[in-house]
Structure 1
Amino acid sequence: MSTSPTSPARPARLANAWVPVAFALAALAVWEAAVRLTGVRPQVLPAPTRVAAAGWEQRRVIGTHALATLEVTLAGFALSLVCAWVIAVAVDFSPTLKRGLIPLLVASQTVPIIAIAPLMIIWFGFGILPKMLVVALVTFFPVAIGLIEGFDRTDRDASALLRSMGASRWREFTLVRLPSALPSFFTSLRVGITYAVTGAIFAEYVGARQGLGIYMSVQKNAFRTDLVLAAVVVTALMSIALYLSTYLIERAVIPWHVKQRRAGRA
């Protein structure tokens, strides 16, 4: 019976996946032991078991706030993706636009988001729109730059061949440049989606009625460090889930690249 060339790598991938889990469990054990041995107050540093118990007790409340944060994250990131694709495609078709916009995109990253977020609340109120804009501002740059660099990595011989056959610029873009840019796009997508959750939390800290950011702010003021950490754990799990989901989307959109990457690792 024949075996797949990538099948021997599968147990290795599973074994590698357990390494960070083992490190995390070891860190939690050290944390638990340190809190119990030193007798530090729960308001300063609660034990992991206390955090887990408090989080489970407040699971419905935390879940409601987590859904609100997830809504802002996905809506803001969707807006960011639309803007990034429009700008990247426009830049790819216009060298003049590229020379003019790239420096501005880089300069935009020097503006601290901590200064922009309060202005969004002042201009647009406490609804979902200002938080969406904050998420979009945080995540737009890596996605746009990833796409632009992906378009630049197109095989020039393939482009020249299509042009010699009379293909239009749009035809060349759809057949060669777009598929070539997708691997870079998914790499930048993974970077952006982790920033998106952080951006949503920060926007909620500045001003919101619901969300993990406002929940952590309230619990911090009540000196419930255990609930603050429980919300942090939920935030981390949400970021990990969104990060891993990009691999599922990548497998569905560009399966050939996923197979090439696995073959290279094998």
Structure 2
Amino acid sequence: MSSIHGKVRRREETFTQRPMTKIWKEKASSENPYIAEDCSCHGYNLFDLMEKRSFVDVLFLLFQGELPSVEKAQLLEQLMIALINPGPRHPATRAAMCVGVGKTDTTQILPVALTTLSGRHLGAAEIEESMRFLRKEIKNDPNLVSDTLFAEATPPTEGDWHVAPGFGCRFGGIDKLPQKQADKLSSLPAAGKCLAWGQTFAKALNNHGHGWLATGLAAAIFADLGIQPRFGPGLFQLLSAPGMLVHGMEFANKPLTALPFIKDEDYFIER
């Protein structure tokens, strides 16, 4: 029952007796119905997948409900390698390193890093926005979109500027690594329209000191592979997790002095 403006109303809802999923089917054990003895993913037996398919194939199947073509699997796998480690300059990786060297329980290193990566700055929160931006603008001239954005937008007074979700500057300049990765991925057979549009758009942005960011590159590939925008942020976190974890574990074995200690005069507290 619920109360609205002091009046009591009965909820006219009927709850299901058990959760239903199209993704995963489990066969209960004859000895214990709470234990599964066999399972399948979107109709494919797990043991058959283990024997005959790669991890990237099954990951695609899990998200898309079908096995990928050889070309799509190649595109996704190369993106996975590109995103496997955000690098020690990334705030999320630095968070993993800090909690590692601080002797936080190792079970918490990855959750802390993923929480940091969930933010909008070079993080998962920008992925969905970037995917929707690409899907919306793909019908427009990327050079014209670039000119319009710079003509109408007001840049921040300090810090990096993302003129569009997934595109901008990093540490005041063009981030060259995602541009090189985009060039390589664009040559693959499964490279699609969003990546091609993003390439032209990024080159137009270069005239203003902006370009691809890792979030924009991931968003373009996800969109071309048919991943829905709401799935993008979680998938980006998943693919970035290995690098953050190993950096955190690396520093878990080091003394506290392995990272710089910020002097008091370098702290700024806004009042």
TM-score (norm 2): 0.28
Question: More helix by proportion, 1 or 2?
Answer: 1
Q: Which has the higher contact order (CA 8 A, sep 6+)?
A: 1
Q: Which has the higher strand share?
A: 2
